[in-house]
Amino acid sequence: MVCLGNICRSPLAEGILQHKIDHAGLNWQVDSAGTGSWHVGKKPHKGSIQVAQEHGLDISTQRARQFKADDLNSYDHIFAMDASNYRDIISLASNDIQKAKVKLLLNETYPAQNRGVPDPYWNDDGFEEVYQLIEAACTLILENYQD
């Protein structure tokens, strides 16, 4: 799960998907990162922590990290929160196999529409909407990517 700073959207996505994975008893690894380095080592935004808590999830122990080119080798699927992050990730890919791993998260719920998850960093009222968008996409990831 990848967003810009790894403090708002992608930590929520990591927490939501991890909760669903645990509940389903799957042996999947989920992580999150940001394409930028501004918040490396910091915990998620207070709005993300709060909305997660309101939905019974604790993401407060997560710490931001920057997405690295090697992540394209380490993960089977990489979900970008918006087109800008998608382009930044693709720019690090060294081959078509790596590029094929990168998808826009909301294409799970809105196929081929290339919608982005809005960044709630500047809008404290936007965290619930972001949570709902990510939760719906993560539900479909769980359904669509099981072997």
* Catalytic annotation, pick one of 31, 71, 82, 119: 119
- Which residues on neighbouring strands pair with residue 80, listed in sequence order? 2, 104
Tell me the domain boundaries of the chain.
2-144
What percent of the chain shows pLDDT beyond 70?
A: 99
In angstroms, the CA 136 to CA 35 distance is: 23
| 12 and 130 Cβ atoms separated by less than 8 Å | yes
* Catalytic annotation, pick one of 3, 31, 71, 82: 3
Note the maximum CA span of the chain: 41
Q: Are strands 2-3 and 33-34 parallel, antiparallel or unpaired?
A: parallel
pLDDT digits (tens, 9 = 90+) for 73-120: 999 999 999 999 999 999 999 999 999 999 999 999 999 999 999 999
* H or E segment to which residue 104 belongs: strand 102-104
In angstroms, the CA 17 to CA 93 distance is: 24
Q: Write down the pLDDT at residue 112.
A: 96
- Whole-number average pLDDT of the chain: 97
- Which residues on neighbouring strands pair with residue 33, listed in sequence order? 2
DSSP string, 35-48: SS-TTTTPPPPHHH
Q: Write down the pLDDT at residue 99.
A: 98
In angstroms, the CA 47 to CA 38 distance is: 18
Q: How far is CA 87 from the centre of its chain?
A: 15
Annotated catalytic, 119?
Answer: yes
Q: Write down the pLDDT at residue 146.
A: 83
Angle, CA 62 vertex, CA 59 and CA 68 arms, to 5°: 135
Q: Is 99 exposed, middle or buried (0-12, 13-18, 19+ CB in 10 A)?
A: middle
Q: What is the pLDDT averaged over residues 54-73?
A: 98
> Hey, what CATH topology would domain 2-144 get?
Rossmann fold (3.40.50)
pTM of the model: 0.96
* Catalytic annotation, pick one of 9, 31, 71, 138: 9
Q: What is the pLDDT averaged over residues 18-28?
A: 96
Annotated catalytic, 8?
Answer: no
Annotated catalytic, 3?
Answer: yes
Q: What is the pLDDT averaged over residues 19-23?
A: 97
Residue 147 pLDDT > 90, yes or no?
no
